[in-house]
C-alpha cells in the first residue's frame, strides 16, 4: 500500500522541473500534503485496478506531464514546454509580493492529481497575459465586496498602468467532440459555464468585475467555438472572448505556443502549422 513516505514530489521536481522553485521563490508550500495527495490518488487507482482487473485511462496531472516528457511522450512534451516557458516568464515579471500571492495556485497545480490542475494553469496563463500589458497584481482571492469577507471571492485584483483597478475571475472548461458538435451544444455549454459563473459570482454587484473564460481542447474544437462566436455574435456581460492555448510548429520544426483570445490566435505568420495536440 502506498503512503506519503513513498513519494518525494519536491525532490523529483528539483531535478525535473527546477522552474517550479524559481517561480515559488522564497515562499513555501506544505510538501507533506502534496505527497499525501499523490498517495491518495495512487490508492484510488490501485483499488480500481484490483476491483476491475483491467487497465484504464488516467487524465494527466502536472507532475505526470513532467514524467511522461522524460519518457519521450510528444504530446506531454508540448504541454511541458508551454508550462516551462510560462513559469520562466512569470518568474521574470512578478515581484516578490506577487509571487507570494500565487503560491496557492502553484500548490493547487500539484495537489490536483488529475486534469483539474489546468484550472490553476489557466489562472497563471491569464495572469501572465495581464502582466504582459503592464498590470500589477494586488491580491488573489479578494472578496468581490470588501465588506463581505466571507462572501464570493475573485481570482485576481489587479491595477493597470492608468491606475484603474479590476477584479478578474477565471473560469476554465474543456471542449470536446460532444459539447462542440452543434450550435445548440455550444450554446448549452456556454450557458452552463459562462452564464452560470456570472450568476454564481454576482456580476451586478461590482462594476470592476470581468470574467475571463479559458477553454481547453484541440484546435479543431476551438475553431468550432470561434465559428459559433463569429456567426451567432454571442456576447456575455463583462466577459471577454474565450482564451485558449494553441501550439503551432514552424516549417523549421520550432514549437510556438499562443495563448490568447480565440479570435486572435488563429492568424499565424506564414510557415506555421497547427500541432496535433489535444491539450
Of the three residues 133, 167, 192, the one that is the final residue of a domain is 133
pLDDT of residue 266: 84
Mean of the per-residue pLDDT values of the chain? 89
Of the three residues 95, 114, 133, the one that is the final residue of a domain is 133
Residues 6+ apart with CB under 8 A from 204: none
Q: Are residues 149 and 272 in the same domain?
A: yes
**pTM here?**
0.90
- What confidence tier does 58 reach under pLDDT thresholds 50, 70, 90? very low
- What confidence tier does 257 reach under pLDDT thresholds 50, 70, 90? very high
- What confidence tier does 279 reach under pLDDT thresholds 50, 70, 90? low
Average pLDDT over residues 158-171: 96
- What confidence tier does 10 reach under pLDDT thresholds 50, 70, 90? very high
Q: Are residues 271 and 195 in the same domain?
A: yes
Of the three residues 100, 117, 133, the one that is the final residue of a domain is 133
Q: Are residues 12 and 97 in the same domain?
A: yes
Q: Are residues 105 and 152 in the same domain?
A: no
- What confidence tier does 230 reach under pLDDT thresholds 50, 70, 90? very high
Asked if pLDDT for residue 175 goes beyond 80, the answer is: yes
Asked if pLDDT for residue 53 goes beyond 90, the answer is: no
Number of domains in the chain: 2
- What confidence tier does 43 reach under pLDDT thresholds 50, 70, 90? confident
Residues 6+ apart with CB under 8 A from 143: 149, 150, 151, 152, 153, 154
pLDDT of residue 41: 81
Q: What is the pLDDT of residues 101-119, one digit of tens each?
A: 999 999 999 999 889 999 9
Q: Are residues 147 and 275 in the same domain?
A: yes
Q: Are residues 94 and 226 in the same domain?
A: no
pLDDT of residue 251: 77
pLDDT of residue 46: 66
Instruction: Quote the percentage of the chain above a pLDDT of 70.
Output: 87
DSSP 61: P
pLDDT of residue 40: 86
C-alpha 102/C-alpha 98 separation (Å) is 7
Q: Are residues 115 and 144 in the same domain?
A: no
* Domain, as residue range, for 188: 136-279
Average pLDDT over residues 137-143: 96
Q: Are residues 125 and 160 in the same domain?
A: no
Q: Are residues 235 and 223 in the same domain?
A: yes
- What confidence tier does 246 reach under pLDDT thresholds 50, 70, 90? very high
Q: Are residues 128 and 142 in the same domain?
A: no
DSSP 181: S
CA angle 28, 33, 35 (to 5 degrees): 105
pLDDT of residue 85: 97
Provide the H-helix boundaries in 25-102. 31-52, 62-70, 74-93, 96-101
Helix (H) or strand (E) holding 152: none
Q: Are residues 129 and 151 in the same domain?
A: no
77-to-15, 84, 152 alpha-carbon distances in Å: 16, 10, 37
Q: What is the pLDDT of residues 202-213, one digit of tens each?
A: 877 888 899 999
pLDDT of residue 55: 43
Q: Are residues 198 and 170 in the same domain?
A: yes
Amino acid at each position: 500500500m502506498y503512503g506519503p513516505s513513498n513519494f518525494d514530489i519536491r525532490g523529483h521536481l528539483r531535478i525535473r522541473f527546477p522552474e517550479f522553485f524559481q517561480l515559488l521563490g522564497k515562499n513555501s508550500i506544505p510538501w507533506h500534503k502534496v505527497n499525501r495527495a499523490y498517495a491518495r490518488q495512487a490508492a484510488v487507482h490501485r483499488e480500481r485496478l484490483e476491483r476491475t482487473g483491467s487497465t484504464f485511462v488516467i487524465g494527466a496531472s502536472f507532475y505526470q506531464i513532467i514524467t511522461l516528457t522524460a519518457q519521450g511522450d510528444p504530446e506531454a512534451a508540448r504541454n511541458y514546454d508551454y508550462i516551462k516557458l510560462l513559469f520562466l516568464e512569470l518568474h521574470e515579471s512578478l515581484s516578490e509580493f506577487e509571487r507570494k500571492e500565487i503560491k496557492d495556485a502553484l500548490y493547487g497545480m500539484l495537489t490536483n492529481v488529475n486534469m483539474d490542475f489546468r484550472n490553476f494553469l489557466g489562472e497563471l496563463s491569464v495572469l501572465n497575459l495581464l502582466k504582459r500589458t503592464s498590470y500589477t497584481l494586488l491580491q488573489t482571492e479578494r472578496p468581490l465586496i470588501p465588506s463581505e469577507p466571507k462572501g464570493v471571492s475573485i481570482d485576481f485584483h489587479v491595477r493597470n498602468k492608468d491606475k484603474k483597478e479590476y477584479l478578474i475571475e477565471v473560469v476554465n472548461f474543456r471542449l470536446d467532440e460532444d459539447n462542440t458538435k452543434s450550435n445548440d451544444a455550444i450554446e448549452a455549454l456556454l450557458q452552463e459555464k459562462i452564464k452560470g459563473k456570472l450568476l454564481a459570482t454576482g456580476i451586478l454587484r461590482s462594476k470592476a468585475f470581468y470574467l475571463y473564460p479559458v477553454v481547453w481542447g484541440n484546435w479543431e474544437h476551438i475553431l468550432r467555438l470561434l465559428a459559433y462566436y463569429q456567426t451567432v455574435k454571442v456576447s456575455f456581460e463583462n466577459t471577454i472572448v474565450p482564451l485558449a492555448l494553441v501550439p503551432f510548429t514552424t516549417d523549421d520544426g520550432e514549437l510556438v505556443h499562443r495563448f490568447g483570445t480565440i479570435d486572435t490566435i488563429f492568424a499565424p505568420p506564414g510557415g506555421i502549422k497547427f500541432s496535433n495536440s489535444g491539450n
